[in-house]
Amino acid sequence: DLSIYDINESFLLASDYSRAELLGKSVYDLNVFDHANELEEATSQLAAQGSFSSREMQFIAKSGRRIQSLVSATFIEINEEPCILCIVKNVNDLRQAEENLKLSEQRFRGAFENSPVGIVLIDLDGNIFQANNFATEVLGYEKDPLEGIHISRLIPPEDRGQLKETLDRLINGGDDTVRTERRMLREDSLEIWTNFHIVMQRDSAGEPAYLIGQIADISEMKNSQRKMERMAFYDTLTNLANRRLFYDRLGQAIDHAQRSNHLSALLYLDLDQFKRVNDTLGHEIGDILLQEISTRLTGCVRKEDTVARPGGDEFTILLFDIKSPSDASLVADKILKTLRQPLTISGHQLVITTSIGITIIPQDGTDPNSLTKNADLAMYRAKEAGRNIYQFYSEEMNTNAIKRLKTEYELRRAMERSEFELYYQPKVRLSDQQIVGVECLIRWNHPERGVLAPVEFIEVAEETGAIVDMGNWIIAEACQTGSLLCEQAQRNFQIAINISPRQFKDPNLVSTIQRSLRETGLNPATLEIEITETMLMGDVDAANQTVHRLHDLGVRLAIDDFGTGYSSLSYLKKFPIDTVKVDRSFIMDIPSSSDDKAITSAVIAMAHKLNMEVVAEGVETKAQLEFLLTHRCEYAQGYLFSKPLPLSNLRHMIQPNVRIMRSP
């Protein structure tokens, strides 16, 4: 009848019954089982098997509270009476916890799936193993699952290295979260901008378990940000830099100039009579005009320069890192020429001119305000002087600019008027003081200024390109003189010509030389071409080609002004060089400067090792000659022997067997 024989305290406590209420009562009578069949099943199992363990059963406490329990039962004997020992374990709390967990998991899943942020769970190899709806949507993976693909597939190829580093830092380094702003790739290859946060999840032992990635699409924000940035730094009408960006670049140019001794220039432009166009033809045409002018201005400068429109019909231009102020005048000239080309807008033919003021950075100012103010001042002077011209802020530079312009203009006519003449400086063999050759040095017989040396005009000729015509004339003239001198001296006579950087780059140089050689019948071996180290250093491949083509012609090659460039003899070894001319600046201070003596003797010794001949330039004293003789320098030029001479004065010096100096 299953009446209760004894109960322990724990059961009483849990069931709210007192001992008296239970002792001797049959369990069938008590209302402690929730389901009658549970008791039924339990007793029949007990009857069949003699015991059971951990059956899940529900008891009802006196108060009606349900107690989830695990029950084990077995037969025992008490006082030789068969009894059943029942052990009841209360698992209410455990079941409750399980229930709570299920609920919270549901909540979490709800939050995960419906979050307005894309979430992906990533394993430690970088593979996505779970993704929420939003991630799928944002990344456009509606058809294919995101699950199973590698996270790097979502990143543009050029950013993948960076992503790998980030993951490494999370997995192997100490970081637990990394927040980045990065571009991601949708399945349709479209790029979006995202805030991408990755959080490391660790297991209870603190070991990396997996990663949570959160993705927020910020493309729209980025776009408007970019638009705003553009508006903040660029002029909307012309797309040129605005005042703010210009000042910023100007500041950089000032820093650069002060740090590294480089020049930059600020050009301040004001269109002449723009107001009249605006007033008579209307703002719309005025706007189109400003746009057209912006395009023209941009076409006049290099890409490292900045053209800006601070407002109205004013433009500013920053020429970054120029070689000399004359570069600024070249650009200003180009702008004046380009702008005054007529243009047609809606049937109206317009000619626009401009006035330009120029300041040089850093000499005309070292802060953006004063530089701009000074350029503005110079611009007003240009207006006063009659418009369509440029003016430097500094008077000295204006004078130079005018002189330069004049030289440029006169140079163009000098060729036609045969104002150039070659002078010849003898080159002397030191062992017997015989003249073995001459170097051609150009002079300009200027109608007003007299005989001009190259310093007065070579640079302008180089910059304007006039040097190429001039150079061709020099080559022809030199070859002619060369064959004449060979005939007169009745021996091979060397004739050297200087080639300028621009000429050296001229693709026709080699064929011009070849033609002159052919026309005069001059033996190529008597012609020596002088180039400088710097010409061999820029575009090495092109230089190498030119040098080899010259070498193949059979002409000799000399390095002029050696020691003033940045190369070394071992660098020059790559090229087929015959002669090294030691620069006058080293010879000048011999014998007083021990440094120069050391350098000169070292250059001579090394050149000989490399099978090159050495010519000392600018020898003026006997002491220098002594030194050169002692160190086995084989040739020299200089006032000690002769200044450069016109051909008529040279002739008598090169009769056979004339020694240039009597022995001391």
Interface residues with Mg ion (CB under 5 A)? 498, 530, 560-561, 617
Mask 148-187, x = binds ligand C2E (CB under 6 A)?
A: ----------------------------------------
Contact between 637 and ligand C2E per CB under 6 A = yes
Near ligand C2E by CB under 6 A, which window of 123-131, 171-179, 349-357, 635-643?
A: 635-643
- What is d(CA 279, CA 270) in angstroms, rounded to the nearest whole number? 17
One of 22, 42, 290, 440 touching ligand C2E (CB under 6 A): 440
Contact between 520 and ligand C2E per CB under 6 A = no
Contact between 528 and ligand C2E per CB under 6 A = no
Give CA separation, 346 vs 237, 282, 285, 349, in Å.
18, 12, 8, 9
Question: Could you tell me the strand order of the sheet in which 118-122 lies?
Answer: 128-131, 118-122, 208-217, 191-202, 177-185
Contact between 644 and ligand C2E per CB under 6 A = yes
Q: CB 556 → ligand C2E: shortest distance, Å?
A: 15
Q: CB 498 → ligand C2E: shortest distance, Å?
A: 4
At 210, list the tokens.
Answer: 């997996």
Q: Which is nearer to Mg ion, 357 or 563 (CB)?
A: 563
At 371, list the tokens.
Answer: 């530089």
One of 69, 326, 355, 425 touching ligand C2E (CB under 6 A): 425
Q: CB 558 → Mg ion: shortest distance, Å?
A: 8
Query: What is the secondary structure of 308-349 as a DSSP string?
Result: EEEETTEEEEEEEEESSHHHHHHHHHHHHHHHTS-EEETTEE
At 301, list the tokens.
Answer: 């400068």
Q: Please, what sign has the CA dihedral across residues 569, 570, 571, 573?
A: positive
Q: How many residues bind ligand C2E (CB under 6 A)?
A: 23
Please report, as residue ranges, which positions from 441 to 500 form the binding site for ligand C2E (by CB under 6 A): 441-442, 453-454, 458, 474, 498-500
Mask 563-592, x = binds ligand C2E (CB under 6 A)?
A: ---------------------x--------
Q: CB 272 → ligand C2E: shortest distance, Å?
A: 40
Residue of 167, 193, 192 whose CA lies nearest to 178 = 167
**Which residue type is seen at 604?**
I
At 583, list the tokens.
Answer: 């620069």
Q: Count other Cβ atoms within 10 Å, centred on residue 405.
A: 14
- What is d(CA 51, CA 209) in angstroms, rounded to the nearest whole number? 44
Q: Which is nearer to ligand C2E, 528 or 617 (CB)?
A: 617
Q: Which is nearer to ligand C2E, 252 or 621 (CB)?
A: 621
Query: For residue 410, how far is the Cα from the chain centroid?
Result: 42
Whether residue 310 has a cis bond before it, omega within 30° of 0: no
Contact between 618 and ligand C2E per CB under 6 A = yes
Q: Which is nearer to ligand C2E, 151 or 636 (CB)?
A: 636
Q: Which is nearer to ligand C2E, 146 or 531 (CB)?
A: 531
- What is d(CA 477, CA 428) in angstroms, rounded to the nearest whole number? 22
**Count helices and strands in the chain by DSSP H and E runs:** 23, 25
458 binds, among ligand C2E, Mg ion, none (CB under 5 to 8 A by kind): ligand C2E
At 387, list the tokens.
Answer: 């418009």
Instruction: Using CB under 6 A, list all residues that contact ligand C2E.
Output: 425, 440-442, 453-454, 458, 474, 498-500, 530, 560-561, 584, 617-620, 637-639, 644
